[in-house]
Amino acid sequence: MTHRVITMLFKKGDKADVKNWRLISLLNISYKILAKTLARRLAGHLPDLVQGDQGAFVQGRSIFNNIVTAIEVLEVVQSENVDVAVLLLDLEKAYDKVGWTFVLTTLRHMGFGPGFCKWTIAMYTCATASVAVNGHLSLPFRLTRSLRQGCPLAPLRFVLQMEVLLNRIRRHPDIRGLQLRENSACTVKALTDDLFTVCENSVSTLYALKEAMAEYSALSEASVNWSKSTYLLPKEFSLKVEWGMRRVEEAPELARLLHTGWITNQGVPEDIVSDRDTRFMSAFWTSLMTESGTTMKSSSARHPQTDGQTERAHQTAQMMLRTLIRPDQKDRVDRLPDIEFAYNTSVHPAICVTPFELHHGGEKARIFADLLLPQAADIDVPCSPASVRKYRDLLIKARVNMQKAQVRMQQQANRRRLPCPFREGDLVWVLSEEFALEQDVSRKLLPKWFTSAVGDDPAGPSFVINIPPHLTVHRVFHASKLAIYMPPPADEFPGRRSQLDCPRTCTWGRYHG
């Protein structure tokens, strides 16, 4: 009854690598009947034995509860700028590295009777297996550990032993989580073997978390898969650029690219800047983005959206494309991956490191050499205390360099600035060239200037103007398109618009905001 046949299911990647195959145990009917009977008896007691932080294989719980909590944590971290460490940890070969002694010890510690423990011993004692390859069975060999993938009882037993690790993290005095609401804090969430951990961003806390993981590994023979574990980066320091759009696509293909190329990896975008593309301006698209919490920012050639980082990246890409593409420009799409890699591996002048290094916490330009050279003991291991400490120093360095760059840019921009002549509520003249014409209206016969009021406080050299709502024009105007309002002198035509040129004091200078 304890013999099983192991078959392999391909996951992804290189088929020659055995790590890319999932092992599934084919069990006999007698074993499955016994395992299903024990699983049904155990399922009713799991909600009392496993706390709510575990969202898998427990009756009455959903995986979406932990997903909603994770989203709430990220929103609090980003909106309140909380200095915490958010770590996503994955256990390597979780079912295969389960020691049977630890399983029995956990069952006895949680109060299971001798009968249940006896049946558990019977299911694992003298267990053997054979591997099915190309229709042939290998010779039987004896097993000394692992839970069988395909066994109805295996996920419930694994959830019980994971509760030992979760309890250790919750009760550790040096591991403090994030306070979300009153009487509500988040320290760790689990989905089977995947851990979502939120703790203080300090060396002592990270070492305490590593200590808890090491204690659990010594007891259960489990280990962390550092290649699949990661920690999160504050969005304001991510200067990494991705050019996902390779060509002009129709709406269905555009939606697929947005989902697979961006939302899957980066989440729902906060802002979408477009040059009034009809694919982004439809009522369905704008309603969908509104429900997703995404802000649509429309721009035009005359009033570009203020986004210096994006504009600068586009300018750099255009400059590099001119030197690489053929005269017919048909290979510009094929050159974008090369330009993306070159941009992300070049030192950014604002942070004095490469975007890849800041985004991933390491020098990704050396990724090919890392495959050939041995790694250092602790400094290169992802999510280790040494690597996290190194990454914190990198963020501090980037923040200082960014502040210095902002000061330099402000000093350069303020060299020829003049005091701003406009204030909120003032009347100004707006150049008529900025307005779209109605049908059958000649621009030559229109006044050169229209009067209106400044709406909000100025932001840099641009101003928000209160214009009539029926005019289809952007409400933000550069100072060079405005003039100080001067009422016409009292004459025989009172209230008549002046047809003379206004003193355009904004044409040659800039103003303080």
Looking only at the bridges linking them, the beta strands covering 295-298 and 271-274 are parallel
Report the C-alpha gap between 414 and 409 in whole angstroms: 9
Q: Which residues of 479-512 are buried (b: 16+ CB within 10 A; e: fewer)?
A: bebbbebeeeeeeeeeeeeeeeebebebeeebbe
Q: Which residues of 442-462 are buried (b: 16+ CB within 10 A; e: fewer)?
A: eeeeeebbbebebeeebeebb
236-413 CATH fold = Nucleotidyltransferase; domain 5 (3.30.420)
Q: What percent of the chain has pLDDT over 90?
A: 0
CA dihedral 124, 214, 47, 73 (to 10 degrees): -140
What amino acid is encoded at 277 in this protein?
D
Query: Are 180 and 186 contacting, i.e. CB atoms less than 8 angstroms apart?
Result: yes
* Distances 289 to 273, 286, 297 between C-alpha atoms, Å: 12, 5, 11
Side chain identity at residue 226, one-letter code? W
| pTM, rounded to two decimals | 0.52
Question: Residue 460 in contact with residue 486, Cβ under 8 Å?
Answer: no
Question: Do the domains at 3-232 and 236-413 have one common CATH topology?
Answer: no
pLDDT tens by residue, the chain, 513 residues: 778 888 888 888 788 888 788 888 888 888 889 889 998 988 888 889 998 888 888 888 888 888 888 888 877 877 777 778 788 888 888 888 888 888 888 888 888 888 888 888 888 777 888 888 888 888 888 888 888 877 888 888 888 888 998 998 888 888 888 877 766 677 888 888 888 888 887 777 878 888 888 888 888 888 887 767 776 655 555 566 665 544 455 666 667 767 766 676 667 777 777 666 676 777 777 787 788 778 777 665 445 545 567 677 777 888 888 888 887 777 777 788 788 888 888 888 888 888 887 776 655 444 433 433 344 444 455 556 677 777 778 888 888 888 888 888 888 877 877 777 777 777 888 887 776 666 556 666 666 666 655 555 555 677 888 777 776 677 788 777 888 877 666 555 555 555 444 443 333 333 443
Hey, which bits of 355-447 come out as E strands? 417-418, 427-431
Q: Output the CA–CA distances (angstroms, integers) from residue 273 to 132, 314, 391, 474, in the order listed.
A: 54, 13, 31, 15
User: How far is residue 323 from each of residues 172, 312, 327, 341, 384, measured CA to CA in Å?
Assistant: 58, 17, 10, 16, 42
Task: Give the angle 335-279-264 at the CA atoms, nearest 5°.
Answer: 65
CB-based burial, 357-394: b 16+ in 10 Å, e otherwise: bbbbbbebeeeeeeeeeeeeeeeebbbbbbbbeebbeb
Domain ranges (residues) in the chain: 3-232, 236-413, 418-511
At 331 the pLDDT is 77
Nearest to 89 by CA among 219, 179, 263, 217: 217
CA atoms 501, 505, 509, 513: torsion sign: negative
CATH topology of domain 3-232: RNA-directed RNA polymerase lambda-3 (3.90.1850)
The whole-angstrom separation of Cα 178 and Cα 335 is 44
